[in-house]
Amino acid sequence: MKFQIFVCLLLSYIYGFSQPNIQITRFQVFDDSTVYDCSKPIVLDYKPQHIGINFSDSSGKKTPNFVIKLEGSDNINWISVGSEGFMSYSNLYGGNYVFHVKNQNTNAQTSIKFKIKAAFWQKWWFIPSIMVYIFTVIGLIFYLFFLYRFRQKMKTHKVQDKIARDLHDDVGSTLSSIAILTQAAQNNLEKAPEKTKKLLSQISENAQETLDNMSDIVWTNKTLNDNFEQLTVRMNEFLGKVLEPKDIDYELITSKSLENIQWASHKYYDFYMIFKEAVNNAAKYSQARHVSVSILRAEQHLELQMTDDGIGFDIETKGKGNGIVNMSKRASLLNGKLTINSTKNEGTAIMLSLPV
């Protein structure tokens, strides 16, 4: 019985001697002055952390000789700090850490675990997301590049189609009439000289018309001329060229707001051809003394109006001529509305309204 008591006392002594006397007394984050309860799991939000850990040996037998290490950091070797019971760490990033402290004099040691939440770029989905983003951007760049080239190619095709259509409609028909008139002039050269002179005069007019149409097609397809300022200058020149030889006074009125209108070249061309047909008709048939042309912008519409003080005409009988039909077709292509009012011996008014 005495022996059992002795053994228990011996074991109690040995056990009490080997009990760790080192304690973690304080765990704090310096950036926000937060102190954490060391008896509970410690989880810190991500940012480059600056933490401090206090520890002590309560045995009091001898001045402690502390060594420490931090598992999870770059350096996991034991580091001697002497009797100073404090250690701090700066710029700790996301991960799991274990802080160990040991008193080399007594071999007593303890540890504390803490976790710093991972940054978003440390998470498993970050690199795949970056790769997807990079490939998406590259794919988008290639898509936009090929889309740009496709649109440029389509734009070129449209210009080519427009030129071909204009040449066929405006130049081809005139050249065909020149060929017919030339053949007629050859047939009447000897037997009807007066008729031949008229035919030659008509051929000359048609040839000049062809040259003018060619000039208009080339002019409207020049990029530098894709603005209303240049268009109104050409319109004013055409008014002088056609009306002055007929002793017809004229005026062209425009508003400054036209400078803000930007059209594709085919719209300028169709607009100009409507104007040109109206001026030619006034010069040939109206017997007017004065022609007034105005181009004004009213809210979301552009209005071209031309009036003369000539003899007028009967719209029911002459309103189906090729000139007026062509003007109506071009107005439809521009999504516009063409209105013609004419009264005998009072003159003619032509109104074109277009959306802008």
pLDDT tens per residue, range 68-121: 999 988 777 899 998 888 999 888 888 899 999 999 888 889 999 999 888 777
d(CA 238, CA 255): 19
Closest C-alpha to 265, from 312, 298, 225: 225
**118 & 226 share domain:** no
Tokens representing residue 32 in the block: 């926000």
- Looking at the fold, whether 98 and 226 belong to one and the same domain comes out as no
Strand partners, 337: 353
Does 132 map to a domain? no
Q: Would you say residue 37 has pLDDT above 50?
A: yes
Residue 43 belongs to some domain of the structure: yes
Residue 334 domain flag: yes
Tally: H helices and E strands in the chain = 8, 14
The arithmetic mean of pLDDT across residues 318-335, rounded, is: 81
Tokens matching residue 355: 């959306």
Query: Of 122, 147, 182, which one is at a domain's C-terminal end?
Result: 122
- Domain C-terminal end among 122, 140, 157: 122
**Quick check: is 200 in a domain?**
no
Q: Is residue 208 part of a domain?
A: no
What type of residue is 163?
Answer: I
Q: What is the tally of structural domains in the chain? A: 2
Q: Which helix (H) or strand (E) holds 292?
A: strand 290-298
Distance CA 67, CA 103 (A): 6
pTM above 0.75, yes or no: no
pLDDT value of residue 166: 66
Asked if the structure places residue 146 within a domain, the reply is no
Q: Which residue range forms the structural domain that includes residue 236?
A: 222-356
What is the CATH number for 85? 2.60.40.10
Higher pLDDT, 193 or 96: 96
Last residue of a domain, one of 122, 152, 187: 122
What pLDDT does residue 113 have? 92
Residue 40 lies in a domain: yes
Residue 258: give its domain's CATH number.
Answer: 3.30.565.10
Q: How would residue 222 be classed by pLDDT, with cut points 50, 70 and 90?
A: low
